Chains A and B, each alone.
Chain A
Amino acid sequence: MISVNNLSKVYKVHQRRSNLLADIFFRKYKEIVALDKVSFSIGENELVGFIGPNGAGKTTTLKILSGVLYPSSGNVNIWGFYPFDKKPDFLKQIAFIMGQRNQLVWDLPAIDTFKLNQAVYEVPENEFKKTVGELSELLDCRDLVYKPVKTLSMGERMKMELIAALIHQPKIIFLDEPTIGLDIFSQEAVRNFIKRYQQEFKKTIILTSHYLEDVKRLAKRLIVIDKGKILHDGNLKDILAKFSNEKFVSIILEKEIDETELSDIGQLVSYKFPKAVFKVKKNQLAEKISVISKKIPFADLNIEEERIEEVVKKMF
């Protein structure tokens, strides 16, 4: 459905010069390669997360996929449309939601923006009512739609933004850091909304976030990107299998033991009676566990995966 082939984007940044005339007539540009021959494809009803450090090219990718930016080279095809053409039939099927960027009319209640969008997207009245009803139900914010936007809290405003952006029931939704700048409760609310929305309405969602929590909770498939190149494209488990070669063994001790004694066994990550955690290479797992069971009396033993945060950090 979405297919991207050898996509590159080079930003030309105008370098200011002190001589105004030279600045206007002989502009100097610096080139920044934001995307470097990226290829991937995304199918119907997928929820894909883009992760990567600052400046990796995540936002650039979404801007090209939605048709805002003109790619420098390569192919983008979404149901046969070339996004940059911005054909109405294409635009009616997508939504681009950026955290902290608002389309709501500031001085008016959100319902006015909803109605404006209803007209712009030519949504029939009964569908409009149904969609607004369902979405405000999911977001638990029925009474907010009639309050002037400027009087809403940031979290409340984000909820209104989500409704405004989804009134036309788009098939593909691009979400660029939807939880950025929100308090943890609003972050949670937005996350839950995205999850339930995707499950109930079967949409294709492409999400970027700095918060691994978002991506981990929402996306089965991750595309890891850095410096304009894709490092990995696969599901969470694959990433762990490929990039994580350590596991954590945590035990609950029966009685207090001296820390040095524990350290002798293996790499001790933390110890606070009764809990002790060891970091163990995957290939030594069986061996270490047998050593532990022989030497230390414990009440419980658990093997945990390395945290995705740690794995991803190591990738860059």
Chain B
Amino acid sequence: MFKKYQLVFSTTVKEYFAYRLNFVLWRLRMFIYLASTYFFWQAVFEKNITFGHYDKSAILSYILYVSLISNFVFGTRTSDIAAEINDGSIINWLLKPISFFRLYMAKDLVDKIMNIAFSLFEVWLIVYFFKAPLIAPKNILLASLFFINGLAISFYVNMMLSFIGFWTTEVWAPRFVFMIMVLFAAGTYFPLDILPPLLYKIMIMTPFPYLFFMTTRTLVGRTDGFVLFEVLISFFWVIACFFLAKRIWKKGNKSFSFWGR
């Protein structure tokens, strides 16, 4: 039963090795982002102030952990789907006794693992050479819960964004909007809870903070006690995204005309 997804996994790994250089260059870019964010915050904390309940070591740890976790959460192959819809090659998968969602979970896992492997190395470089004050991870159980929910939300949102390809070839537009929102509202460059409380309260109603911000915040121990509300909202978004993605998939399959001779 799982053998097929195992094979999808190993075949995808082989494909990655056919494009080693591409991948290394991509990682180099990601490393530059990470390093610049890290040094930005280090410069800000020269005078050892605090932001909200983040002191220097907390915020630098946050940046490093976010880098690791977001790399894993965002690792995906789903951006191929729109092209597969458009050129009709998706038919190859549709007509096989395999679940399309699980297929892409397996493929995504490859991308995630490749990314995290490099990411671990990059974070280690910074910790080792710049003596980063890394806080030991805390609240692992709660963090894992947020982590898994973040993975699920990210996966189903990615699937939905790809399925737009059933209706239009301009799939980049919604994905672009999504990425802008992520940049702004997911907490890649700073912890969201240093924002004004009202803005923060509004934000945590959206799915974005549940991608990896909640996980990281929990790991660096900056959760103020009671998080049941956040847990519930994260589950809400997992369930909502799951059903929406499935629905769009069904609808797309019915209405799409599958181009090609």
> Chain A interface (Cβ within 8 Å of chain B)?
11-13, 59, 63, 66-70, 86, 88, 91-92, 94, 96, 98, 100-103, 105, 107-108, 112-113, 115-122, 176-177, 180
CB-based nearest A residue for B97: A88
Q: How far is the CA of A299 from the CA of B261 in the complex (A)?
A: 50
**B258 in the interface, Cβ–Cβ < 8 Å?**
yes
**In the complex, are the beta carbons of B97 and A98 less than 8 A apart?**
no
Q: How far is the CA of A103 from the CA of B96 in the complex (A)?
A: 11
B 74-109 to A, binary, CB cutoff 8 A, 1 in contact else 0: 000000000000001101101111100000000000
> Chain B interface (Cβ within 8 Å of chain A)?
3-4, 6-8, 11, 14-15, 18-19, 88-89, 91-92, 94-98, 253-255, 257-258, 260-261
**In the complex, are the beta carbons of B94 and A122 less than 8 A apart?**
no
**In the complex, are the beta carbons of A94 and B97 less than 8 A apart?**
no
> Which of A70, A101, A120, A177 sits near B254, CB closer than 8 Å?
A70
**In the complex, are the beta carbons of A119 and B4 less than 8 A apart?**
yes
Q: Which residues of A contact B255 (CB under 8 A)?
A: 12, 70
Chain A to chain B contacts (Cβ below 8 Å), 27 pairs: A12-B255, A12-B257, A66-B95, A68-B91, A68-B258, A70-B254, A70-B255, A88-B97, A98-B91, A105-B14, A105-B15, A107-B15, A107-B18, A108-B14, A108-B15, A112-B11, A112-B14, A115-B11, A116-B7, A118-B7, A119-B4, A119-B6, A119-B8, A120-B4, A122-B4, A122-B97, A180-B261
Q: Which residues of B contact A119 (CB under 8 A)?
A: 3-4, 6-8
Q: Which residues of B contact A116 (CB under 8 A)?
A: 7-8, 11
Q: How far is the CA of A147 from the CA of B94 in the complex (A)?
A: 27
Take A63-B258, A69-B257 as given contacts and tell me if A120 and B97 are in contact as well, using a CB distance cutoff of 8 Å.
yes
Q: How far is the CA of A69 from the CA of B98 in the complex (A)?
A: 18
**In the complex, are the beta carbons of A86 and B7 less than 8 A apart?**
no
Chain A CB within 10 A, most for which of B4, B11, B261: B261
**In the complex, are the beta carbons of A103 and B18 less than 8 A apart?**
no
**In the complex, are the beta carbons of B260 and A98 less than 8 A apart?**
yes
Q: Which residues of B contact A11 (CB under 8 A)?
A: 257
**In the complex, are the beta carbons of A91 and B95 less than 8 A apart?**
yes
Q: Which residues of B contact A177 (CB under 8 A)?
A: 261
Q: Which residues of A contact B254 (CB under 8 A)?
A: 70
Whole-angstrom distance from the CB of A211 to the nearest CB of chain B? 14
**In the complex, are the beta carbons of B253 and A70 less than 8 A apart?**
yes
> Which of B7, B91, B95, B257 sits near A94, CB closer than 8 Å?
B95
Q: A119-B8, A177-B261 are in contact. List 20 more A-B contacts (CB 8 A).
A: A12-B255, A13-B257, A88-B97, A91-B95, A94-B95, A96-B91, A98-B260, A103-B92, A107-B15, A107-B18, A108-B15, A112-B14, A116-B7, A119-B6, A119-B7, A120-B7, A121-B96, A122-B4, A122-B97, A180-B261
